[in-house]
């Protein structure tokens, strides 16, 4: 390791990673550092880590749901339809589509896509 500043060290792996004319890394002065602001009083619940982000190019995604479920939409309008059903559903952000118990063990097969280039996220929740 080679020292490049008063407290900073850099490993030398290749000739391209370090040059003798390199300057040590300098931290920004305190005025330019980002400030931590307090969190707002209420933060609406987000989609969470188990959510599905739909492609922004309009391709549909196939999902298999084997239990009664509520599909909630975040971020943009979503088109959802079930295999074998003539009904199409357009859901706005915050709207919910409730799917009852599937008729067979195979479950519901749904197709979902987002409208336009907006980022659309779906989350399956247990029914109330």
Place of tokens 């330019």: 32
Q: What's the whole-number mean pLDDT along residues 38-43?
A: 54
Separation of alpha carbons 32 and 44, rounded Å: 30
Task: Read off the pLDDT band of 21 (50, 70, 90).
Answer: low
Domain spans of the chain, in order of start:
52-125
pTM of the predicted structure, to 2 decimals: 0.58
Highest mean pLDDT among 35-39, 60-64, 119-123: 60-64
Residue 3 has what pLDDT? 47
Q: Quick one: 52-125 is in which CATH superfamily?
A: Jelly Rolls (2.60.120.10)
Q: Which two tokens stand for residue 89?
A: 């559903």
Q: Which is more confident, 98 or 53?
A: 98
State residue 87's pLDDT score: 87
Question: 58 pLDDT exceeds 50?
Answer: yes
- The residue-averaged pLDDT of 53-74 equals 84
Mean of all residue pLDDT scores within the chain: 73
More confident residue, 36 or 114: 114
- Where is pLDDT greater, at 62 or 120? 62
**Of all helices (H) and strands (E), which one includes residue 53?**
strand 52-53
Closest by CA to 126, choosing from 105, 106, 98, is 98
């Amino acid at each position: 390791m080679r020292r490049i500043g008063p407290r900073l060290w850099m490993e030398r792996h290749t000739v391209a990673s370090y040059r003798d004319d390199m300057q040590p890394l300098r931290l920004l002065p305190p005025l330019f550092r980002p400030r931590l602001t307090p969190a707002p009083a209420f933060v609406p619940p987000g989609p969470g880590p188990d959510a599905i982000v739909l492609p922004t190019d309009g391709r549909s995604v196939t999902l298999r749901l084997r239990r009664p479920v509520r599909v909630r939409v975040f971020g943009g309008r979503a088109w959802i339809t079930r295999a074998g059903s003539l009904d199409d559903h357009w859901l706005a952000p915050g709207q919910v589509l409730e799917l009852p118990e599937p008729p067979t063990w195979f479950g519901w097969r749904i197709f979902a896509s987002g409208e336009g280039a907006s980022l659309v996220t779906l989350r399956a929740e247990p029914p109330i």
